[in-house]
Chains A and B, each alone.
Chain A
Amino acid sequence: MSGIRIIEESCIGCRLCVKACPFGAIRMDGRKAVILDNCTLCGICVPACKFNAIDYEKGPVSNAVDITKYSGVWIFAEQKNGVPEPISYELLGAGRKLADDRKTRLTAVVIGDKLSDACEKLIAYGADEVMAVEDGSLAVYNDESYSDIFVQMIRKGRPEILLMGATTYGRSLAPRIASRINTGLTADCTRLEIDPADGKLLQTRPAFGGNLMATIICPNHRPQMATVRHKVMKPLEPDYSRKGLVTRPEVSIPRETSVKVREVVKTIFEMVSLAEADVIVSGGRGLGAPENFKLINELAEVLGGAVGASRATVDAGWIEYNHQVGQTGQTVGPHVYFACGISGAVQHLAGMSSSDIIVAINKNPDAPIFKVATFGIVGDAMEILPLLIKEFKAALG
């Protein structure tokens, strides 16, 4: 029987577990800890206890598989119009390391139409093998057909690890597949490594808006599935002399899907999307008026970056929701993040604090954004922005 209990003899009443519990589900009763009914069995208290006084029994899990029958690392290579998305190369970078550590092969799975160029590139970026499923009906991503095909491939190929991008499509496809084959899936991993002791995949991800990191394993089910956010993993330098195998797995392609993608509409025409941008210039209420976003656009253009926005400006209708950075918008991790006239509410910080360099421009010297800023300028964004645009225009030609 799975469950959790306090070993009273070992508990010294130090309260460490009480503080560690994110759900307030442990209380002190006299000098002993007591676990309350609202415990979710998350297990966070177990490592927090320095006295091994928490007995956490997971019991036999259901649907366990013979994990020895699974081998190889797979990544899902997303592509658009036959061109792999940057996330695919990042996944190959992460997957290569895992495959080497496990002394196994790295395979890229690519589904779409007219993929020969893509296959070549995926090999150059580190794949030992590319399994390509090509069909005219697969040119545009479709949840139903892609998941059907992928599940067939997994059942046949039995990978031990499967990585996908934490993209719009990846975050839809991965849970659908995991649910069908009854395996574990860890979302938005920021670190993936092989446990040298037992070869398991250690998947580390942020929780509670990035305020806590959790390392998660999937011990008894295969494949071990994880999604990875943009910009978290580094791609390898492409090597076009690398040799790899391109295979065409035999799968049945659904001829008629109930889900139909009728139209694909582009509304953001910038060169780079927020998720993939190396530089993001974001504007907040401090800009004063919606029309002042043109300065944000201009700086972003000069720097070849994307435009971000605070929740307040999106709520006020100054800019579209697709631009919103933060907990209720997108999580980004560019090399440089400019926060212009953004005070830096925790919800905003949760979406951008992993940026390498943060530049904050704000009138209020006490604004919380300065606490995470690499460089801070106390001043009016409307005064600083035109100067910055001029300066970078001159410097970058």
Chain B
Amino acid sequence: MNYFLTEEQQMIKDLAAKIADEKIKPVALKYDEEGIFPRDIVKVLADSDLFGVYIPEEYGGFGGGIFEMALVVEELSRACGGIALAYAGTGLGTYPIILFGTEEQKAKYLPDIAQGKKLAAFGLTEANAGSDAAGIQTTAKADGDEYILNGTKQWITNGGEAEVYTVIACTDRSKGARGFSAFIVEKGTPGFSFGKKENKMGIRASVTSELVFEDCRIPRENLLAREGMGFLVAMKTLDRTRPGVASQALGIAQGAFDEALKYSGERVQFDKPISSFQAIQHMLADMAIQIEAARCLVYQTCRHIDGGAKSISKESAISKVFASDTAMKVTVDAVQVMGGYGYMKEYPVEKMMRDAKITQIYEGTNQIQRNVIALELIKSQKVSK
């Protein structure tokens, strides 16, 4: 299918695909098994300039948008959804700066991120603030030229590995959701440490850990946007990066499908390759149908966002839900097509099935996404009335 990518987008996709096939595929199972952070792959990605695709040119990037980032995430996820997250998680941590950063903040942080010298992370979730982000307990108290942060962020992708963190904390509890603010915190700041490293079902090559703030003092200039805009910063960021999760799901699904298709041609039962049996053929066809539909949706959503559309919450939620549900279905079916071999760790599809599950959960569960979609639908009804 012709997806009408620009020449540069095609170049980015091809380069990411090359890295996925040559560098990530051979080590994906090892990283999954050992659950270690893929520093060497991050180096390869940095050398390839891919960290800069969505960063404005004036800060050393290529000036692309969410679409360019999604193309990279999709290709990397085809080989390993976990390793891809070191990249995608950096995008998530960087977008608040791109969207809301001052000239000085951008000039300070974006060039290093674009060159892959620094990774980023996004700190929103807490033990009691999952789907209900308003339950954030971490506080930031103004004190002269500084803010003092206290609290613990949980399940933070790239936690401990990233150098730049954008963190949402409460500056005024009395104002509810309007009492949150967003801050940039650098690794190494006194009072900022890393807690428990999680042992996960899937995306095991991605590191997920706690961010612990104990009287952590940061300069006032690290405030993003204005006080009280933290919730908005978080929501606007997530609206933009959801297609990133969608493309991660899409890549995982594609990777599993490729394995299943290849296997079905090689595996011989009853003296025939199993791809000659209709039961298998229909499964493969269904997988392909869903993947193609997901890709068209994700790509179109990215174009919608990058085109400067004002209303993007519903669209980005739809793409995230559809692509992640697709990834789950396709990976389960890929294991089924491959039977006992699919269930074994020597073949990559059981890992892909484990990796797929998270895409239905994080950056807003698919249930929350449906809430968002429904809310927007109802809102539009009211407006049109």
Q: What residues make up the interface of A, taking CB atoms closer than 8 Å to B?
A: 312, 315-316, 366
Contact = CB atoms under 8 A, between A and B. Distances in A.
A160 B266 CA distance: 52
Contacts of B127: none
B26 A366 contact: no
A316 B26 CA distance: 9
Interface in B266-307: 266-268
A146 B267 CA distance: 55
B267 to A, nearest CB: 6
Interface of B: 26, 266-268
Nearest to B267: A366
User: Which 6 pairs of residues, A with B, have the shortest CB-CB distance?
Assistant: A366-B266, A366-B267, A366-B268, A315-B26, A316-B26, A312-B26
A233 B26 CA distance: 39
Contacts of A315: 26
A259 to B, nearest CB: 36
6 contacts: A312-B26, A315-B26, A316-B26, A366-B266, A366-B267, A366-B268
A316 B268 CA distance: 30
A366 B268 CA distance: 7
B308 to A, nearest CB: 46
B206 to A, nearest CB: 22
Contacts of A312: 26
Nearest to B273: A366
A181 B266 CA distance: 52
A155 B268 CA distance: 62
B264 to A, nearest CB: 11
Contacts of B266: 366
Contacts of B268: 366
Contacts, number: 6
A312 B27 CA distance: 11
Contacts of A366: 266-268
Nearest to A364: B341
Nearest to A367: B266
A366 B267 CA distance: 7
A241 B266 CA distance: 59
Contacts of B267: 366
Nearest to B266: A366
A366 B339 CA distance: 15
B171 to A, nearest CB: 51
A343 to B, nearest CB: 11
A316 B27 CA distance: 9
Nearest to A288: B346
A315 B23 CA distance: 11
B24 to A, nearest CB: 14
A315 B27 CA distance: 11
B73 to A, nearest CB: 26
Which of A312, A315, A366 has the most CB atoms of chain B within a 10 A radius of its CB?
Answer: A366
A71 to B, nearest CB: 54
B349 to A, nearest CB: 15
Nearest to B344: A363
A144 B268 CA distance: 57
Contacts of A316: 26
A312 B26 CA distance: 9
Nearest to B27: A316
A159 to B, nearest CB: 48
Contacts of B26: 312, 315-316
A312 B29 CA distance: 14
A139 B370 CA distance: 81
A291 to B, nearest CB: 15
A16 B26 CA distance: 41
A16 to B, nearest CB: 30
A315 B26 CA distance: 10
B26 to A, nearest CB: 7
B146 to A, nearest CB: 48
A57 to B, nearest CB: 43
B268 to A, nearest CB: 6
Nearest to A312: B26
A178 B372 CA distance: 77
A91 B353 CA distance: 58
A312 B25 CA distance: 12
A372 to B, nearest CB: 16
A115 B373 CA distance: 89
Nearest to B268: A366
A237 B93 CA distance: 76
A27 to B, nearest CB: 26
A142 to B, nearest CB: 39
Nearest to A316: B26
A349 to B, nearest CB: 16
A315 B266 CA distance: 25
A312 B30 CA distance: 14
A322 to B, nearest CB: 21
Nearest to A363: B346
B79 to A, nearest CB: 16
A366 B263 CA distance: 10
A319 to B, nearest CB: 16
A110 to B, nearest CB: 46
B185 to A, nearest CB: 38
A223 to B, nearest CB: 44
B260 to A, nearest CB: 15
Nearest to A368: B266
B259 to A, nearest CB: 14
A114 to B, nearest CB: 49
A316 B23 CA distance: 12
B22 to A, nearest CB: 11
B337 to A, nearest CB: 15
B97 to A, nearest CB: 39
A383 to B, nearest CB: 15
A321 B144 CA distance: 63
A379 to B, nearest CB: 14
A38 to B, nearest CB: 24
A326 B136 CA distance: 59
B230 to A, nearest CB: 46
A366 B26 CA distance: 21
B38 to A, nearest CB: 15
Nearest to B341: A364
A118 B16 CA distance: 58
